[in-house]
């Protein structure tokens, strides 16, 4: 099934990572992965080690791509408010699209890729949030120096609040609250920039 000689690991992870988002870790069989990757089981084990390690790699790649997109929005923001709102909405929507599936894949697969050698899923998630927090703080600092943010505002504190806000919505969002709840909460969060 498939030739392993010209197998591109990065592209293969890109092709397969949506399986875990849609079906979850348990709902995705090894055969599902082999079919999507067009690779045999020996090639799969040689490239990824296990289904668990593959799921963690896919989750990490997906997170890295999302964070990269969010950081770009903030780094190139001409106006702070629309950029912050766009990033918050993107973070919220990423969770609303299937947070239980993504976190389930990580949780079901285990914490650290099985061998304990690499960073845990939680450590990777914290690192991603720290990167977004840093981008928020940088964009807010630039906005403050341009006069787009009131002088009394502390960019680092605001960045931390925005990250905590999104994390709170992630927890509350598991209750599948409606769009109006999210919009109301988002409106209040945006007033923190006034």
Q: Which of 50-54, 57-61, 153-157 has the highest mean pLDDT?
A: 153-157
State the sign of the Cα–Cα–Cα–Cα dihedral 72, 77, 81, 83: negative
* Burial class for 6, CB neighbours closer than 10 Å (0-12, 13-18, 19+): exposed
Q: Please check the confidence at residue 7 and state whether its pLDDT lies above 50.
A: yes
What was the pLDDT predicted at 161? 95
Domains annotated on the chain, with CATH: 58-191 (1.10.357.10)
- Quote the tokens at residue 139: 């964009």
Greater pLDDT, 46 or 172? 46
* Closest of 139, 131, 186, 185 to residue 158, by C-alpha: 139
Sole residue written with tokens 């840093």: 134
Mean pLDDT over 36-58 rounds to 84
Q: Is the pTM of this model over 0.75?
A: no
Long-range contacts of 109-118 (CB under 8 A, 24+ apart): 109/25, 109/51, 109/52, 109/55, 109/56, 110/52, 112/56, 113/52, 113/53, 113/56, 114/49, 114/50, 114/52, 114/53
For residue range 101-149, list pLDDT tens digits in order.
444 444 444 444 444 455 666 787 788 888 889 999 999 999 999 999 9
Q: Is 194 exposed, middle or buried (0-12, 13-18, 19+ CB in 10 A)?
A: exposed
Residue 167: CA count within 13 A, CB half-sphere: 13
Contact 25, 108 (CB under 8 A): yes
Q: How far is CA 114 from CA 32, 51, 108, in A?
A: 21, 10, 12
Q: Which two tokens stand for residue 56?
A: 């963690």
């Amino acid at each position: 099934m498939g030739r392993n000689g010209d197998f591109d690991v990065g592209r293969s992870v890109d092709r397969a990572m949506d399986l875990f988002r849609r079906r979850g870790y348990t709902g995705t069989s090894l055969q599902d992965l082999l079919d999507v990757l067009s690779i045999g089981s020996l090639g799969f084990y040689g490239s990824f080690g296990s289904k668990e390690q593959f799921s963690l790699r896919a989750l990490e790649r997906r997170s890295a791509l999302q964070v990269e997109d969010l950081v770009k929005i903030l780094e190139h923001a001409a106006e702070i408010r629309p950029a912050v709102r766009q990033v918050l909405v993107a973070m919220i929507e990423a969770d609303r699209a299937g947070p239980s599936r993504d976190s389930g894949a990580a949780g079901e697969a285990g914490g650290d890729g099985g061998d304990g050698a690499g960073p845990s899923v939680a450590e990777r998630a914290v690192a991603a949030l720290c990167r977004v927090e840093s981008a928020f703080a940088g964009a807010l600092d630039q906005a403050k120096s341009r006069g787009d943010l009131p002088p009394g505002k502390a960019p680092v504190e605001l960045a931390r609040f925005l990250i905590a806000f999104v994390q709170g919505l992630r927890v509350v969002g598991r209750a599948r609250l409606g769009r109006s709840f999210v919009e109301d909460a988002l409106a209040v969060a945006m007033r923190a920039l006034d």
